[in-house]
Structure 1
Amino acid sequence: MDLTNYIRDIKDFPKEGVVFKDITPLLANVKAMEYATKELRALIGNQSIDVVVGIESRGFFFGTLLAKELNCAFVPVRKPNKLPAETTSETYALEYGKDTLEIHTDAIKKGDKVIIHDDVLATGGTAQAVCKLVEKLGGKVVQCNFLMELSFLEGRKKLQNKEVKSVITY
């Protein structure tokens, strides 16, 4: 199955000059969603995983499905003031400014083997910040796992010491 048939381009979203890769058609098709989950799971192989960390918000869709497939916990990473318990945060640079992500301080235990999942790897700043959060709590990032990678934005460079896998590469 060619998953690119279920991803539509939205020009000038969220700002002029950007071509947004919209996964909602994929999410609307059960067979495509099942196939994408199977492909994401295959990227992990036989590694033993304790936690899948999903990045707000599109990383939640397949992150929870991966956690179920791996029979492990799912942990959300969110923007500030969205998580109810005690959090730790990481601020990172964007193209024009900064952003911050948070995780519950009790979400990762020392030594946990962690998959970080998001829908797309673009510049790598978000995934890099999440790696720092996981490591700050004592977890070991086993893999950064993406549905899509926009290779022309060179996000892998920010994840140099991590295993990075994607189902689709643009």
Structure 2
Amino acid sequence: MLKQKLSYPLKSKNERQFIYLRLRLFDQLYCLEIDLELQQSYLEAGLHEHRWPDQLYAVAQTMDFDFCQQYIDGYIENLKKQLNECQLELMKQSESCPITHVTLDQIDRGLKEFVDTQPKYLCTRNDGKLAKLKCSHHCEKLYKALSQHGLTQEQ
């Protein structure tokens, strides 16, 4: 399937190593971008609702809102740093491209298409996590609204 996306044969060991390293870097870049989107969505939802996901409280080992915000801000900054390092590694690696019968842009386009078709589960998983977070916030609001009115079990 990778050969179809690249539309040329990998003849030498050097070419295969170059492609597989580049593929790994594009995959890493994709995963980091997806994780960054999720964490930024968590941050946005948390600031809007003034509540974090339960797993963030567990990881941060505190229920302190501000500390959790600092934790997620730091995590986002770390992801951005990793993204930058990965992009730098891709640029550095591109200087040693052993493949001459196609351009690096053609190679990268094929590799990105391949990576984009593979881990769709990450997007689905993240969408599910965000939906669960929003549902949790909604249920909590309903519970608070009902408790404020002092309803009894018979009502």
Task: Bin the TM-score by the shorter chain.
Answer: under 0.3
Q: Which is bigger in relative contact order (C-alpha 8 A, separation at least 6)?
A: 2
Structure-2-length-normalised TM-score? 0.24
The structure that has the greater radius of gyration is: 2
Structure-1-length-normalised TM-score? 0.23
